[in-house]
Copies of this chain bind each other. A is one copy, B any other.
Amino acid sequence: MWKSRLFTPGPTPVPDEILLEMAKPLIHHRTPQFRKILAECFNGLKELFQTKEDVMILTSSGTGAMEAAISNLLSPGEKCLVVEGGKFGERFREIAVAYGAGVTTLPVEWGKSATPSEIEAALKKEPDIKVVFTTLCETSTGTHTDVKGIGEIIRHRPDTLLAVDGISSLGAVECRTDEWGVDVMISASQKAFMLPPGLAFISLSPKAWEKSAKTKTPRYYFDLSAYRKAAAKEDTPYTPALTLIIGLAGVLKMLKTEGIENVWKRHYLLAEATRQAVKALGLQLLAEHPSNAVTAVRAPEEIDAEALTKALRDSSGITFAGGQGKLKGKIFRIAHLGWVDQYEILQAIAALELQLLKMGYALQPGAGVGAAEKVFLE
């Protein structure tokens, strides 16, 4: 008996009812039936993004939306600032370099996050920076960034835009695109959206749309103006991943029923319980400002994190993510993201205790679970 139990920061578990919804016989995408579904998605996405602007649906990995942010907003040679404190900051840099933008990096120690004042200082030094790229949650380190504070710095500069990778946390943590002055917000289907991978989402502020009209970088598939034009007619410019969009309509309904603020609260509780549990086991968190989407935990000195996650996955199906890049073998990451409730966290913590005990790590059996229960009781 082996059950797939994902605690990875993408893909995350998909509700059975949504899996079955997506398994229905296919319909055509240029029909009134599908347009209705698409309209529901566009509305639901606006609420999740907390924006009045269009949220466009791309058929691609999240990386496709990151590329769209760059190719639609930066002409060759124009400058951008990339906050780089993990693998996804790196990716923004790589894409910007590929597209010939002038890239200034704000290096951040992995596990820390950039502060609004660091951003302010960087912009003072190079006032001709056109776009600032940051993550809301740097998935590779489980680190939360104060996007609200950074928005305060950027929103009053007429020639600078703020683009945020919310791929692994939008829909899990508080995120107010319009209110915070985020010009480009990005997410993807396989995280808090509780869907399989294959869709990416992106919204642009009026200021960003203006800039995109003047941007000279070549683009076609990710030219957002085509998606906006199609969305106005409840359509997509190219044949979309329509079964995933049917699933999207379903999960957006579920999230609306729960209420977005309740969804954020649920994720806070799951994250806080996980943090207290691992601390009770004598383990340390990597992130100075941990995200409520995913908890990065330093493995004990004597245990290889890769061996730990592999053994746990193979014995229990409970799948944590390992470390990426320079953190490989040193940390493991527990995502509590999307279709996850308190009882799954208790199960995962218990399984982690058992696995650590099997590997010879000294702990008090039940200590982690007990600490999590206390959080849920409060």
Contacts and interface: CB of A to CB of B under 8 A. Distances in A.
12 contacts: A4-B27, A6-B26, A11-B28, A13-B25, A14-B26, A20-B23, A22-B23, A29-B197, A59-B61, A60-B221, A98-B220, A198-B198
Given A221-B67, A239-B197, A242-B197, A25 B3 contact: yes
Interface in A64-97: 64, 67, 71, 76, 94-95
Given A59-B198, A60-B59, A239 B25 contact: no
Given A23-B22, A190-B239, A196-B242, A221 B6 contact: no
Given A61-B239, A98-B223, 4 more contacts: A4-B27, A63-B221, A196-B241, A198-B243
- In order of increasing CB-CB distance, the 4 nearest A-B pairs are A198-B241, A61-B238, A23-B23, A196-B243
A62 interface: yes
Contacts of A188: 239
Contacts of A20: 23
A264 interface: no
How many copies of this chain are found per oligomer? 2
A100 interface: yes
A320 to B, nearest CB: 10
A82 to B, nearest CB: 14
A218 interface: yes
A163 interface: no
A8 interface: yes
Contacts of A257: none
Interface in A323-370: none
A328 to B, nearest CB: 12
A284 interface: no
Interface in A212-266: 217-223, 238-244
B22 A8 contact: no
Interface residues of A: mostly helix, strand, loop or mixed? loop
Contact of A218 (B59, B63, B217, B240): B217
Contacts of A61: 59, 221, 238-241
A99 interface: yes
A122 interface: no
A19 interface: yes
Nearest to A24: B19
A11 B239 contact: yes
B67 A239 contact: no
A140 interface: no
Nearest to A67: B221
A341 to B, nearest CB: 16
A313 interface: yes
A80 B292 CA distance: 50
B8 A28 contact: yes
Nearest to A216: B100
Interface in A173-230: 188, 190, 196-198, 217-223
A261 to B, nearest CB: 27
Question: Which of A25, A62, A99, A240 lies at the interface centre, i.e. has the most chain B CB atoms within 10 A of its CB?
Answer: A25
A88 to B, nearest CB: 11
A20 to B, nearest CB: 6
Contacts of A24: 19
A319 interface: yes
A224 to B, nearest CB: 13
